[in-house]
Structure 1
């Protein structure tokens, strides 16, 4: 991941001293906006959610929690998806599944290591594998986990992506995880990320991403062609074992 500076008061003082030591040209660079032109936060655009049923948004958004480490986006997204599909537990003594609890139940040393602070993060195929393992240890026995990876940015591929989003939007009986290059959407950094689809506005052709990277973002909309570009962009060499990795969708169906 790229270097992100903290904003606590003490850190701000240290950061100020750091910038004073920089050459004038570096210290005076124009700060980047929170989101680039391809992402619109839900606080600025919520008309679709007020005028449509948006079943996925209402089923999953209450269960989307911040990833509990900087490398835990996959476990955060899978936990939110399974909690949303299962719904709020019926009994007072039952807890809502947390990210650490799901990791413990799956009992995968690999997933735990990849999701730990400073971990490498998962590859797309590992996301599929770990999602299937998580489904098997929850009450969603028999649920199907189906991956889809785009091969190119052709019109047919874009149509297939739109079809998947349309089918997902029809009900809350399935969930769509996305493995994508986050920076293509947010304009901030170049790196792989996992989150959850919250809604698809077919008329405006835009997708709502329920962000688990909540230290930096809230849910945002992005155009469907931009999402496809984010699925297709390979991971850069700075991410070590993830270099060259491209993304896709992982659909969980009851």
Structure 2
């Protein structure tokens, strides 16, 4: 972790400063639009549930915990009314997959913190099983860099966004380069999708970062680029190659 801090951080801040000075990247005009967090997607029970149970991460590497607990609480709330939401501390105690709780500690698990995409998907699968929830399937979808515009990956993602937004057929948890979407460092991050507007082709993110006090919208291409960014090669030492998403389909 010391090597990561001393070698990667200067690069990340240099890249951040360049984009800020040149108004490029996520600093470009019209790139991100913040939305009113009080808006309630009442027409869709699943959307309403994920907005209601959205929480913020409790430290810099715990975005997976906040994202997964929001997903699990949203699914639980669809099955019965009046169920007390589980907390981030409780889910870490109940789900041992990948030494998840140890990864959230200050030293990490053998120096590794956070969850790479494949492990995030397995944690979600095991969380659904441990809490006795019903789901059709959990799909872990890597999105390689330079994916062609006509790729089936893009088509499937857009279909799933529409199915979530219009019909509540499944949840999407994004594993993405946060600095590709909003003006911040280009680091791996995890958050659930909150909505998709097919008319404007914009994706709403329920970012679990405490610095992001409101949900925000970005264009589909910006969203996909954030998913398909190759993380800095130094992150590969800790299991982070590139991003993608986890799709939890409902029956």
TM-score between the two structures when normalised by the length of structure 2: 0.77
CA distance in 2, matches of 1:203, 1:161: 16
Number of equivalences: 222
Do the aligned partners of residues 90 and 193 (structure 1) sit closer, same or farther apart at CA in structure 2, a change above 3 Å counting? same
CA distance in 2, matches of 1:131, 1:220: 24
CA distance in 2, matches of 1:138, 1:209: 25
1:90 corresponds to 2:86: no
Residue ranges of structure 1 left out of the alignment (5+ in a row): 4-25
Do the aligned partners of residues 166 and 242 (structure 1) sit closer, same or farther apart at CA in structure 2, a change above 3 Å counting? farther
Per-residue deviation, 1:241: 2.7
For the pair shown, the structure with the greater C-alpha radius of gyration is 1
CA distance in 1, matches of 2:98, 2:155: 38
Per-residue deviation, 1:107: 2.7
Aligned pairs (5 A) from 1:1-254: 36-37=27-28, 38-43=31-36, 53=43, 55-87=45-77, 90-91=81-82, 94-108=83-97, 110-117=99-106, 119=108, 120-151=113-144, 152-157=146-151, 158-239=154-235, 241-242=237-238, 245-254=241-250
CA distance in 1, matches of 2:90, 2:240: 31
Residue ranges of structure 2 left out of the alignment (5+ in a row): 10-16
Per-residue deviation, 1:36: 3.1
Contact 2:117/2:140 (CA < 8 Å) preserved in 1?
Answer: no
Residue in structure 2 matched with residue 7 of structure 1 by the alignment: none
Question: Matched residue of 2:150: which SS?
Answer: helix
Per-residue deviation, 1:52: 8.5
Contact 1:180/1:247 (CA < 8 Å) preserved in 2?
Answer: yes
Residue in structure 2 matched with residue 22 of structure 1 by the alignment: none
Contact 2:61/2:114 (CA < 8 Å) preserved in 1?
Answer: yes
Q: Stretches of 4+ moved more than 4 A in 1?
A: 49-52
TM-score between the two structures when normalised by the length of structure 1: 0.76
Question: Matched residue of 1:87: which SS?
Answer: helix
